Amino acid sequence: MQDKCSHRITLIRSDGVGPELVGGLGVAPGANIGDTYAVFEATHSSAPKYTDMNKVNPAGLILSGVLMLRHLGEREAAERLERATAAVIEKGRDVTYDLRPPHDRKFAVGNQEMTEAIIRHIRRD
């Protein structure tokens, strides 16, 4: 690494402090990129206790897809997906319980509905 200024590395603690910088653990994307292979995944665990409950925030996995698209050189697709995800989160209507204020969580949607809202936004983009 000759030009250290051209490389940006961010280390984020996974104990709840670092992910809060991006909106919570459910929003944090992850990528492990090596010389031969790359793995893209949400930074949160698989949350097996929520299996078939339509509850877990899909944003971390979707944003990991954004990282994958960029890695593959699909910059336009990555930008569209990232914009759509950010727009849905910013609007705050079709989001999972962890992205709503505690007094407003009864109006939260499930992961399927949040994903569908992101897809609708992409189709309008």
Please give the Cα distance from 111 to 119 (Å, whole number).
12
> Residue 30 gets which letter from DSSP?
E
**Model confidence band, residue 118 (pLDDT cutoffs 50, 70, 90):** very high
For residue 5, is pLDDT > 70?
Answer: no
Of 68, 60, 69, 49, give the one whose Cα is nearest residue 114.
Answer: 60
**Model confidence band, residue 25 (pLDDT cutoffs 50, 70, 90):** low
To which residue do tokens 């009864």 refer?
106
- pLDDT at position 55, please? 87
- Give percent above pLDDT 70 in the chain: 78
Q: What is the mean pLDDT of the chain?
A: 83
Q: Quick check: 56 and 45 in contact, CB under 8 A?
A: no
- pLDDT at position 123, please? 96
- pLDDT at position 125, please? 83
Q: What is the distance, to the nearest Å, from the Cα of residue 85 to the centroid of all Cα atoms in its chain? A: 8
- pLDDT at position 66, please? 96
Q: 54-103: per-residue pLDDT in tens?
A: 988 999 999 999 999 999 999 999 999 999 999 999 999 999 998 988 88
18-26: long-range contacts (C-beta < 8 A, 24 or more apart)? 19/43, 23/59, 23/89, 23/99, 24/57, 24/98, 24/99, 25/60, 26/56, 26/57, 26/59, 26/60, 26/96, 26/98, 26/99
To which residue do tokens 């979707």 refer?
62
- pLDDT at position 3, please? 45
